[in-house]
């Protein structure tokens, strides 16, 4: 064995035939540095004032990618080729984020109403809404992946370090709870058509306290996880818009709760002409919706502050329209909700407010997911993400 191969045990049949060939690029045989410099180190050449060394930084320390003293075109860059790859997630993901969020919000509120309040229509609408809106989730994700088998590959490991893996498991568990809830709701809705014996069996088997306890013990935490993992998923990337942004998780979770409340209120209004059957529950949903919108606005402000110039696409770039639409949806929904209008217009007012809120929630996901693509196309923001002035390392 030649000197350069001594660390390797090769069982390739031709290994011995190759062993006479020294490998100049393998350290050990090359013995870098080859030259043994005997004389003292010459004095360092003083920097030439004619050559600008402003852009040259040492390897260590907090070097800045964006020096405020340098004009934009003089900033160090590689021909403005974006440093990062753009996200490959498209409309399927934005739509799934919205629908999944609405589903979990509705599920949480519906179960809260059932457990702590009277349940009734709120729980009923929540059950159907949460089931129907999580239903397109897996097909959308599979469409994004391109092959049903590929979705299954995510379920071959348990890897909680990856939000996508954890999220996939959470969706599985959550959709189990949502399905159990909708089946129970459907059977209870058909109670009037049942014979007494069947009714007894229904109450024993389906409206079983233990079953409900298990369903909620799994369903509620998993619903919270499905609502929040999407934001964490985006924040655990190196994308300029999303990277490490601590506000994305709370923002998406609050938006999930508000969309859920709005969805339930819309269904309640669709079900019944005139005023809602249970105004007290309706009022609770309104209040939760308002609170969630407040949290959303606070989180959006926090998001923009944290992202700073990296959120260029939301404030001045291509996604400006969608970003404004999401703000307009959230604020417009609240304005429409509390505007003093005559009694006759109360129902159109509620519907308008809820539709605006849902649109705001959708526009939020759309601007965030698509904004990531735009941010990664912008060479400057891809450089800013590795600039300690723009992305603190903690």
Partner 1 sequence: MTLPLPIVGETNPKLRAAGAYLQHAATEAVTNFPNAFPPQRTEVPQPMDANDRKQIMGFFTDTTLCIGCKACEVACKQWNQLPADGNNFTGHSYDNTGHVSATTWRHVAFKEKMAEETQDGVSTSRWLMMSDVCKHCESAPCQHACPTGAIIYNQFGDVYVQNDICNGCGYCVVACPFGVIGRADTPHDDGHAHKCTLCMDRQEDGLTPACAKSCPTASIQFGPIDDLRAAARQREKDLHGRGNDKAYLYGCDSVGDYGPLNAFFVLEDHPNEYNLPVNPPQPFKGQTKRYLAGLAVGAALTAVGALLFGDTKRGGRRG
Q: Which residues ranging from 123 to 162 are in contact with partner 1 (CB under 8 A)?
A: 144-154, 156-157, 159, 161-162
Residue where the block lists tokens 């390739």: 12
DSSP conformation class of 86: P
Q: Work out the angle at residue 308's Cα, subtended by the Cα atoms of residues 303 and 314, and round it to the nearest 5 degrees.
A: 70
The answer to whether residue 71 forms part of the interface with partner 1 (CB under 8 A) is: no
HSE-CB at 85 with a 13 A cutoff on CA atoms is 4
Choices 45-53, 132-140, 201-209, 320-328; region in contact with partner 1 by CB under 8 A = 45-53
Where in 81-120 is the site for partner 1 (CB under 8 A)? 81-85, 87-89, 108-109, 112-113, 115-118
Token pair of 330 as six digits: 């959230």
The answer to whether residue 238 forms part of the interface with partner 1 (CB under 8 A) is: yes
The rounded distance, in Å, linking the Cα atoms of 8 and 28 is: 13
Choices 186-194, 200-208, 284-292, 334-342; region in contact with partner 1 by CB under 8 A = 284-292
The rounded distance, in Å, linking the Cα atoms of 91 and 299 is: 23
The answer to whether residue 357 forms part of the interface with partner 1 (CB under 8 A) is: no
Residue 252's nearest CA partner among 232, 236, 222 is 232
The answer to whether residue 387 forms part of the interface with partner 1 (CB under 8 A) is: yes
C-beta closer to partner 1: residue 208 or 238: 238
The minimum distance between CB 6 and partner 1, in angstroms, equals 10
DSSP string, 363-380: HHHHHHHHHHHHHHH-HH
C-beta closer to partner 1: residue 33 or 340: 33
Q: Which of 3, 164, 203, 217 binds partner 1 (CB under 8 A)?
A: 164
* Secondary structure class of 224 (helix, strand, coil): helix
Token pair of 26 as six digits: 């393998």
Where in 289-318 is the site for partner 1 (CB under 8 A)? 291-292, 295, 299
The answer to whether residue 344 forms part of the interface with partner 1 (CB under 8 A) is: no
Size of the site for partner 1 (CB under 8 A): 130
């Amino acid at each position: 064995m030649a000197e350069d191969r001594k660390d390797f045990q090769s069982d390739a049949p031709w290994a011995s035939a190759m062993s006479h060939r020294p490998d100049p690029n393998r350290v050990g045989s090359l013995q870098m540095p080859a030259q043994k410099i005997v004389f003292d180190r010459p004095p360092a050449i003083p920097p030439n004032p004619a050559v600008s060394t402003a852009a040259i930084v040492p390897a260590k320390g907090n070097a800045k990618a964006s020096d405020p003293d340098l004009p934009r075109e003089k900033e160090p860059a590689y021909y403005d080729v974006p440093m990062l790859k753009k996200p490959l997630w498209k409309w399927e993901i934005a739509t799934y984020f919205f629908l999944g969020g609405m589903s979990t919000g509705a599920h949480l509120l519906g179960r809260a109403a059932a457990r702590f309040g009277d349940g009734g229509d709120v729980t009923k609408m929540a059950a159907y809404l949460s089931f129907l809106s999580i239903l397109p989730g897996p097909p959308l994700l599979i469409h994004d992946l391109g092959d049903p088998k590929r979705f299954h590959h995510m379920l071959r490991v348990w890897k909680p370090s990856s939000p996508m893996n954890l999220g996939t498991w959470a969706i599985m568990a959550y959709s189990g709870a949502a399905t159990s809830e909708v089946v129970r709701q459907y059977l209870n809705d058909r109670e009037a058509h049942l014979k007494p014996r069947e009714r007894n069996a229904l109450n024993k088997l389906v409206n079983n306290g233990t079953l409900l306890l298990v369903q909620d013990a799994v369903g509620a935490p998993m619903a919270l996880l499905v609502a929040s993992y999407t934001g964490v998923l985006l924040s655990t990337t190196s994308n300029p818009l999303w990277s490490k942004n601590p506000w994305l998780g709370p923002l998406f979770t609050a938006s999930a709760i508000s969309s859920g409340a709005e969805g339930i209120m819309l269904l309640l209004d669709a079900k019944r002409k005139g005023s809602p059957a249970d105004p007290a529950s309706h009022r609770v949903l309104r209040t939760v919706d308002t609170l969630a919108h407040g949290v959303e606005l606070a989180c959006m402000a926090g998001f923009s502050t944290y992202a700073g110039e990296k959120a260029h696409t939301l404030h001045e770039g291509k996604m400006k329209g969608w970003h404004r639409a999401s703000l307009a949806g959230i604020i417009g929904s609240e304005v429409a909700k509390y505007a003093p209008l005559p009694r006759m217009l109360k129902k159109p007012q509620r519907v308008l407010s809820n539709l605006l809120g849902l649109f705001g929630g959708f526009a939020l996901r759309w601007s965030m997911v698509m904004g990531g693509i735009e941010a990664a196309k912008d060479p400057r923001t891809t450089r800013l993400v590795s600039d300690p002035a723009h992305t603190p390392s903690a």
